[in-house]
Structure formats: structure tokens, C-alpha cells
Amino acid sequence: MSPIFTTLAPGLFEAGAKLIDRLIPDPAQREQAKLALFQAEGQQALQEMQVSLSAILAEANSADPWTSRARPTFLYVIYAVIILSMIGSVIGIWWPAEVFQAAENLSKLLNAVPESLWWLFGAGYLGYTGARSFDKWRGVPR
């Protein structure tokens, strides 16, 4: 389905309903035409959901473990960071100097990575996610 049609479809259906009200004088025919229009709108929405779902299912059913587990693995890492931060804050009650030293060491470790590598990682990550989003929006199967 064309991305232009997908973008314009909601406005077209609304305009079509207003046009039907003006052009068809018979109330029974008008309701029949509106029903057909709403059915077409429902079919279009169903097709959009099917395309979106097929992309998600294809990714989840991929034989490549990096593809099928990338999103959950990223979430697991984020959960681990949050939990470790909470544990570190509790430990900081009894050993504040050690927790402060650990945070300072982590800061030094991250600052040791050259800034250009952070920019490269950021550009690569944003480029990858942007390309995937564009492919999903365009409806191109991988």
C-alpha cells in the first residue's frame, strides 16, 4: 500500500462522508454509500495492522538470534542498570565513600572513550533505527 495513500486515507474518508451527504439525496442510498465507505476505511485500517504485525512477526521469528532477541536484550540491559542503580543507592547508606569511588571510577572509564567514538556509536545507532523505521513505514519486507 502506498505511504501517500496511508497518510491521506483518514482525511479522504472524512471528506468522502461529507461528499456523500451533499451528493446523494435519498437517505437509504446515502446510508448504503456511507456503509460502503466505512467498510473500505475498516479494510484499510486492517491492512495497515496486518503489515505492521507481519514485520514484527518476521523479526521475532527470524532464525538469526541477534535479530529476534535484540529488543528484549536491550530492555534486559536497561533493567539491569536500573536495578544496579537502586542497589548502589542502598549500599551507599552504609559505605558512601566506596559508592562514591565506584561512581567516580565509572565516570573515568566512560570518559576514557574518545568523544569521536561516542558520536560514531550514536550516529550508527540512530542510522540503524531510522533505516528500520523507514523500511517499516514504507512496508518493505526484510
pLDDT of residue 130 exceeding 60: yes
Query: In this structure, what is the dihedral angle of CA atoms 20, 24, 28, 34, given to the nearest 10 degrees?
Result: -10
- Here the cell at position 45 is 485500517
pLDDT of residue 118 exceeding 70: yes
Under the banding of pLDDT at 50, 70 and 90, the label for residue 10 is low
Q: Please report the pLDDT score of residue 108 as a whole number.
A: 93
pLDDT of residue 95 exceeding 60: yes
CA distance 61 to 110: 35
